[in-house]
Structure 1
Amino acid sequence: MTSLLPVPLPGSGAVRVHPAPEALPQLRHEGPGRNRFDDPHGSFLMRYTAENLRGCLIETMARFRPNSAADELLAAVDFVGADVDPPMRTVSAVADWLAKQRLGHVTLVTPHPLLVDIEAADLLVELDTHPLVREAIENSPLRDGPNSVRLDAGLIRLGADIGRPITQAVSRALHELHPEVDGIAYWSRIDSSERCWAIYGHVPVDVSITDLSAENPLHRSAVRAAAALLKVPLPPAWR
């Protein structure tokens, strides 16, 4: 029997930054979700959280990281004014995004919550045998000569179009093999010191919500720390 390694949420709850932190996203009907541990079959939802505000912001503000190739393409479009440079467009987008965000502290309302380390060795070996996981790995461009590529922590941390089908298959496989598990504990791909959790949508939660505010020193410090790491320019109120 596989030994599961529990990784509980902080006593004050995990952090979620979203316009509606208490809400779950809408199920997609045209295919799997876009996020790391979304269900590839589209039948269940995930609620993404982090151990602290900085970790949560690193994950959610990564969309604003500089992209010189995209900026060059935008500059070539007629309706993009030549007097509006990429940093100014980014600052405006970041300001709009921050203004819409709220901060939720998420706790699980279950007698015995079970969130497990997805990189635990025993669990990786078990999940590697699941047909969905094998299919995702074998359909990926990953190769190891004549040998089969096996699920390991490195694959769990892969992103984008190569890694996402694998981690989504892992999420589905874990849900099927261990329905008692409430969620997945994992590390941020951007900063591996930041602990995150993906909580299965059927798990009851309590969410305490406050506004994300530049007037709050803790909020401002976390936003500045995430922006500094990601090289994201901030609007004046958050500097």
Structure 2
Amino acid sequence: MNAANFAPWPRDGVVRVHPAPMELPAESDDPGPYRFDDPRRRTQDRFLMRYTASTVRGCLLELLDWMRDDEAAHAREASVEVDDDPGFVDPPSAAGNNPLEAYLLERRVATMTAGSPTVVSIDDPAVQAKLDRENGVRAVLDAKPARDALLEERGHEVHLDNAAVRLASKTGRDLTQACALALYDWPHKPDVIHYRSRHNDTEDCWAIYSHVSVYCVHEVPLSPDIPAHREALESVAKIWDLEIPTDWVAGH
């Protein structure tokens, strides 16, 4: 199974926006907090993930969603200390009146590739049907939080589908992490999980397992002097009514 019916692995590589984009997250005895992280505690066979997208805009859509006006969400995000996964990051502590300006400081953009990796898409119904029968995935789906979140009627079984894999709650994290672990345990484990951004179906994202060797094609600072970076930020800021830093305004 692969993502060919959804989005083939980009020939020119994928993009990661991060202070050190080629590095893996630090290992920990605790379960990972992000979408496809290893959910196990104190395991000897822990996998880590690099989270990437096909475009800088796709990365920023996933990275900046916490900046929307939601004080409760800000408080939850503030408890997260690691900055690795697009879509679940800790707000910056740097001083300044504009949190977006503080967040953008020292970010870099790397285009990386992994040759010809084996890719499965979490959006592929054939992959979903197979994962739906995995014990760890079923345990999450059969629990009350998932049944409630997916509006399951009494007597009917919840199944893995696009609504399930896009849940934004802790239940959603538990589910996608269970999927990532199940895929990792397959006899022919994939190298990459393809998924679509929850914020835009046209933006493809890629979670790369740590057993995969990745190579840097190109790395530069995230900069308003690079038109593609500025246009990507302007697009995302417009959607969520974010204040664009002065240095990022075109013509400044």
Structure 2 gaps of 5+ residues are 76-94
Instruction: State the TM-score, normalized to the length of structure 1.
Output: 0.84
Bigger share in helix:
1
- CA distance in 2 between partners of 1:69 and 1:142 (Å): 22
Q: 1:97 aligns with which of 76, 97, 103?
A: 103
2:61 to 35, 58, 63: 58
TM-score between both structures, scaled by the size of structure 2: 0.80
Q: Counterpart of 1:130 in structure 2: which amino acid?
A: E
C-alpha distance 37-238 of structure 1, shift in aligned 2 (>3 A): same
**Aligned equivalents of 1:114, 1:216: Cα separation in 2:** 32
Equivalent residue number for residue 40 of structure 1: 39
Task: Read off the aligned partner of 2:55 and give its amino acid letter.
Answer: N
How far did 1:8 drift?
3.2
How many correspondences in the alignment? 218
- More displaced 10-residue stretch of structure 1: 114-123 or 138-147: 138-147
1:92: how far off?
2.6
| Correspondence list, 1:1-239, <5 A | 3-6=1-4, 7-30=7-30, 32-41=31-40, 43-68=46-71, 92-109=98-115, 112-143=116-147, 144=152, 145-207=154-216, 208-239=218-249
Task: Work out whether residues 37 and 168 of structure 1, in 8 Å CA contact, stay in contact via their aligned partners in 2.
Answer: yes
* Structure 1 unmatched ranges of 5 or more: 73-88
Q: Structure 1: which 4+ aligned runs deviate by more than 6 Å?
A: none
CA shift, 1:139, in A, is 2.5
The answer as to whether partners of 2:67 and 2:74 remain within 8 angstroms in 1 is no
Per-residue CA deviations over 1:182-234 (Å, capped at 9, x if unaligned) read: 11111001112211010101100012211111111111111111111122212
Give the superposed CA RMSD: 2.1
Aligned partner letter, 1:118: I
SS of residue paired to 2:51: strand
User: Looking at CA atoms only, which structure, 1 or 2, has the larger radius of gyration?
Assistant: 1
Q: In structure 2, what is the Cα distance between the partners aligned to 1:182 and 1:106?
A: 14
Cα deviation for residue 140 of structure 1 reads: 4.5
Cα distance in 1 for residues equivalent to 2:223 and 2:39: 35
Identity of aligned residues (%): 37
The answer to whether the 8 Å contact 1:19/1:100 transfers is yes
